[in-house]
Structure 1
Amino acid sequence: MSNGGINLHATVIVAGHRGILFTGPSGSGKSALAFRCLAEASGHGRHAALVADDQVFLQIFERGVIATRPDSIAGLIELRQSAIVKVASQRRCLIDVAVQPVGPDAERLPPADLRFAPGHGIDLPLVVIPRDAVAPLAAIEAILATLAAPLATGSPQF
């Protein structure tokens, strides 16, 4: 623990009003996927900001998990094999969901009840999406909507 929270290797953004934590091993595509979500949100006129790339502090409060960046990396995101670039940023946010980018060899349909629970009382819904998803933010939001609304039973009515 550091800075009063859990020090985690992850990337966190805010897109609209949703805090998104990207998790996975080094080189899995967290930063690239987060950057594409930022661009997608901005392209649709929504608020978009980086909280932290590569290192984030997580704290648990009554309302949920808060992510805070180290000041030394404010607004900086690494685009692997390209550069470290400056983007719009904010110091902290409430996390709504964890996202794990996966490659082409991943399970076709992972279980619907996946959770991100690294310990210390942190428990978030986990969404798994391809690291090369065409519209990653739209995919994340569609999956979250599916998880929030159970599938209707019975035959569709036409």
Structure 2
Amino acid sequence: MTTPICNIHGTAMVLGATGFLVTGPSRSGKSALALALISEVRRRGRFAALIADDRVDLTLANERIVARCPASIRGLIEIRGSGIAEVETLPACVLEWAILPVRAPFDPRLPPEQEELKLEIGRSLPMLRLPIETPLGPVDALAALLPQKLGL
């Protein structure tokens, strides 16, 4: 039996040993946030890699959500205003969290409790709202919210 594939708009990456899906509407900063997180985590001496940018194929394997990149865009990421760049990627990862980039003013100030991103494959990911374009760097915010996952 073939596992159904769901193709969604988003960016998937691994930081340390944790898989993240950056979600949000077009032009919300998904690619820029992912590239900034990957670059900064690497500068701090930890593993980080892109899985897919813009489109992500999701499947279920052993009840876990697996992200892969469609072949036509493998190894590519958009740098808005500059073009498409080639980057090192991994073929797949297990997703554990969704990230929604948010800009000030933050409304609501605090996110809903136990917020989840519902996926078309019948599963959900716990979601974090991550501030962008603020004095607090996104890696510092993510490390404060999930210290056990990043170990930074």
Shorter-chain TM-score: what band?
Answer: 0.7 to 0.9
> Following the alignment from structure 1 to structure 2, what is the Cα–Cα distance between the partners of residues 137 and 96?
17
Identify the residue that residue 85 of structure 1 maps to in structure 2: 85
1:14 alignment partner in structure 2: 14
Q: Deviations over 1:58-92 (max 9, x none)?
A: 11222510001012211111011122111110111
Equivalent position SS for 2:126: strand
Please give the TM-score of this superposition, normalised by the length of structure 1.
Answer: 0.83
Letter in 2 for 1:36: A
2:121 corresponding residue in structure 1: 120
- 4+ long deviations beyond 4 Å: none
The one-letter amino acid paired with 1:99 is I
* Count of aligned positions: 144
User: In percent, how many aligned pairs have the same letter?
Assistant: 40
Question: Between Structure 1 and Structure 2, whose CA radius of gyration is higher?
Answer: 1
**Secondary structure of 1:99's partner?**
strand
> What amino acid is the match of 1:69?
C
- Is the CA contact 1:117–1:124 (under 8 Å) kept in the aligned structure 2? yes
Q: Secondary structure at the match of 1:77?
A: strand
Q: Which moved more, 1:110-119 or 1:87-96?
A: 110-119
1:34 aligns with 34
Q: What is the CA-CA distance between 1:50 and the residue it aligns to?
A: 0.7
The aligned amino acid for 1:49 is A
Deviation at 1:141, TM superposition (A): 3.4
1:132-143 to 2 correspondences below 5 Å: 132-133=133-134, 134-143=136-145
RMSD (Å), alpha carbons = 1.8
Alignment CA distance shift 1:41-1:69 (3 Å):
same
Matches within 5 A, 1:35-50: 35-50=35-50
The 8 Å contact of residues 12 and 52 in structure 2, kept in 1 or not, is answered as: yes
The 2-side partners of 1:143 and 1:37 are apart by 14
In structure 1, distance between residues paired with 2:147 and 2:38: 20
Question: What TM-score do you get using the length of structure 2 for normalisation?
Answer: 0.86
Deviation by residue 1:112-146 (Cα, 9 ceiling, x = unmatched)? 31111133312111000112254313322322359
